[in-house]
Amino acid sequence: MKLLSRKVTCNSHGQNSSYFLGWQEYEKNPYDENKNPTGIIQMGLAENQLSFDLLELWLAKNPDAAGFKKDGESLFRELALFQDYNGLPAFKKALVEFMAEIRGNKVTFDENKIVLTAGATSANETLMFCLANPGEAFLVPTPYYPGFDRDLKWRTGVEIVPIQCTSFNDFQITSSALEQAYKEAQKRNRTVKGVLVTNPSNPLGTTMTRSELNLLVNFISEKEIHLISDEIYSGTVFGSPEFVSIIEVLKDRKCEDIEVYNRVHIVYSLSKDLGLPGFRVGAIYSNDDMVVAAATKMSSFGLVSSQTQYLLSEMLSDKKFTKNYIMENQKRLKLRHKKLVSGLESAGISCLKSNASLFCWVDMRHLLTSTTFEAEMELWKQIVYDVKLNISPGSSCHCTEPGWFRVCFANMSEKTLNLAMERLKVFVQSMNGSNNLSQYQSTKNSRRKSLTKWVFRLSFHDRQLEER
Ligand SMILES: Cc1ncc(COP(=O)(O)O)c(C=O)c1O
């Protein structure tokens, strides 16, 4: 241990949260309809598996793209040697056009202002390296994607100061919450370098309103700080109100020629909208030439492979395909979302009204034995070990109110979702005393006991760190 760096031995990667722990538990006992029908159903993974057939159909119709051929000629050697970290121009062009199409072509993106990265994970971290020094802070509204603790903080040394949002106004950002977070950072002796939001939100599944976006632009203008808008879920918006990108707000406010425009940066990825997290395709879009130049140099540490860029440049420049894909994918997400909401309803559980993403923000406050995070953890363990559903507790997303959970709906078949809802319904009935409780009485095995200690120890430790 002594020979290792502090980075390796410190805990700031955030991967000891129950969010990641749930994945580990799922891996030990994964549900399979035939091989393991009583296993854990994975509902803690924001994957989009609903439109794979559309991608596969395109691949079958366009074998040259995956075979690295163009006009009958092999591109193998060219692609194998390609190493320009600026990326393939054809791919950057196809990507910015796809981003504009998702935004209803109300805005355009300049391919010279985009930097390719290995997913949004790398894009967010790269922006931290570009915009903040170790010890400086970014304000992030709660609840937020648990991976941010790793992506924004761990290697960069940047701090996250939460903007506390609550169910009182459906977790929307307010002016007073922004001011309070700013003051809190000052109290902690942290220089605030910016605000980072996720629009549509992970874990809320909602799009930000125009007034929230305007509030943010006003705030960063006044404080002279940056704004990062992680728009990784922009293509998943399946219901009204429609998605408004920060870039659209800047355009409407005619900010293109004023300085604040250089301080707004967009993060994007094909992990959710195209359902390709394994391909590792992300991007930073920035109007600041210095940021673009530095981020491009840094992208050497996490490039997108040339064969991936080539394949996707062919796919995304097929406008007939992209138009149909965007529409059909949203239609399928809408249906699936409806299934989850009605399944939860029949179990007596409601969720935040949402219009986007691959999950719902589910309200289980009425199932807690007390209004505490310990009770939330107890309920979570019951749901993972007894009901056998891996969902993500709100505390892992830094939610300030116990009893909220993120539940994913697009990474499984409809049949599996139905089974999950059936399990949940029986569980809630058993909690209400109208069914056989013994079904859910815990098997107090040693693994679960040690997990209990571990989770409590870690959440206590995390809270101590946050309070510091
Ligand atoms: C808000 C948000 N940002 C970034 C990421 C990371 O995405 P990627 O797979 O592109 O690295 C995720 C993944 O879940 C996410 O939800």
Per-residue pLDDT tens digits for 202-246: 999 999 999 999 999 999 999 999 999 999 999 999 999 999 999
Atom of ligand 1 nearest to the CA of 270: 10
CA distances from 440 to 15, 39, 428 (A): 29, 14, 10
Query: Is the confidence at residue 255, as pLDDT, over 90?
Result: no
Q: What is the pLDDT of residue 83?
A: 85
Tell the residue nearest (CA) to atom 14 of ligand 1.
Answer: 46
Average pLDDT of the chain is 92
Active site residue 325: no
Q: Tell me the pLDDT band of 446, cut-offs 50, 70 and 90.
A: very low
Query: Is the confidence at residue 447, as pLDDT, over 70?
Result: no
CA of 277 to the centre of ligand 1 (A): 8
Active site residue 257: no
Per-residue pLDDT tens digits for 177-197: 999 999 999 999 999 999 999
Q: Tell me the pLDDT band of 468, cut-offs 50, 70 and 90.
A: very low
CA of 47 to the centre of ligand 1 (A): 10
> Taking Cα atoms as reference points, which of 155, 164, 157, 150 lies closest to residue 191?
157
Domains and CATH numbers, the chain: 6-53+327-467 (3.90.1150.10), 64-321 (3.40.640.10)
Query: Is the confidence at residue 437, as pLDDT, over 50?
Result: no
Per-residue pLDDT tens digits for 342-399: 999 999 999 999 999 999 999 999 999 999 999 999 999 999 999 999 999 999 999 9
> Taking Cα atoms as reference points, which of 127, 130, 125, 131 lies closest to residue 153?
125
- Quick one: tokens of 279? 């391909």
Atom of ligand 1 nearest to the CA of 282: 10
Residue of 144, 228, 265, 271 best suited for mutating to test ligand 1, as the one with most atoms within 8 Å of CB = 271
Q: What is the pLDDT of residue 335?
A: 98
Query: Is the confidence at residue 463, as pLDDT, over 50?
Result: no
Q: Tell me the pLDDT band of 256, cut-offs 50, 70 and 90.
A: confident
Q: What is the pTM of this model?
A: 0.93
| Of 461 and 346, more confident | 346
Active site residue 230: yes
Q: Tell me the pLDDT band of 17, cut-offs 50, 70 and 90.
A: confident
Q: What is the DSSP string of 329-395?
A: HHHHHHHHHHHHHHHHHHTT-EE----SSSEEEEE-GGG-SSSSHHHHHHHHHIIIIIS-EE-EEGG
Query: Is the confidence at residue 429, as pLDDT, over 90?
Result: yes
- Quick one: tokens of 49? 């598996």
Instruction: Give the pLDDT mean for 429-435.
Output: 75
CA of 121 to the centre of ligand 1 (A): 6
CA of 120 to the centre of ligand 1 (A): 5
Catalytic residue among 26, 31, 145, 325: 145
Q: What is the pLDDT of residue 440?
A: 52
Q: What is the pLDDT of residue 209?
A: 96
Catalytic residue among 232, 246, 284, 383: 232
Per-residue pLDDT tens digits for 114-126: 999 999 999 999 9
Q: What is the pLDDT of residue 283?
A: 98
Tell the residue nearest (CA) to atom 3 of ligand 1.
Answer: 120
Q: Tell me the pLDDT band of 12, cut-offs 50, 70 and 90.
A: confident
Q: Contact 177/165 with Cβ under 8 angstroms?
A: yes
Percent of the chain with pLDDT over 70: 92
Query: Is the confidence at residue 456, as pLDDT, over 90?
Result: no
CA of 151 to the centre of ligand 1 (A): 9
What residues line ligand 1, using a CB cutoff of 6 Å? Answer: 46, 119-121, 145, 147, 198, 202, 230, 232, 269, 271, 277, 282
- Quick one: tokens of 299? 């992208």
Atom of ligand 1 nearest to the CA of 122: 11
Active site residue 71: no
Q: Which residues does 151 contact at the CB level (< 8 Å), separation at least 6?
A: 121, 124, 125, 128
Catalytic residue among 149, 230, 288, 462: 230
Q: Contact 176/196 with Cβ under 8 angstroms?
A: no
Ramachandran region of residue 228, left (φ > 0), alpha (ψ -120 to 50) or beta?
beta
Q: Tell me the pLDDT band of 11, cut-offs 50, 70 and 90.
A: confident
Q: Tell me the pLDDT band of 262, cut-offs 50, 70 and 90.
A: very high
Q: Tell me the pLDDT band of 14, cut-offs 50, 70 and 90.
A: confident
**In this structure, is the dihedral angle defined by the CA atoms of residues 397, 411, 38 and 351, taken in order, positive or negative?**
positive
Q: What is the pLDDT of residue 435?
A: 45
- Quick one: tokens of 50? 């609903």
Q: Alpha-carbon distance 234 to 441, whole Å?
A: 42
Query: For strand 282-286 and strand 114-117, is the pairing parallel, antiparallel, or unpaired?
Result: antiparallel
Q: Contact 304/116 with Cβ under 8 angstroms?
A: yes
Instruction: Please give the DSSP secondary-structure letter assigned to residue 30.
Output: B
Residue of 99, 145, 197, 231 best suited for mutating to test ligand 1, as the one with most atoms within 8 Å of CB = 145
Instruction: Give the pLDDT mean for 81-104.
Output: 95
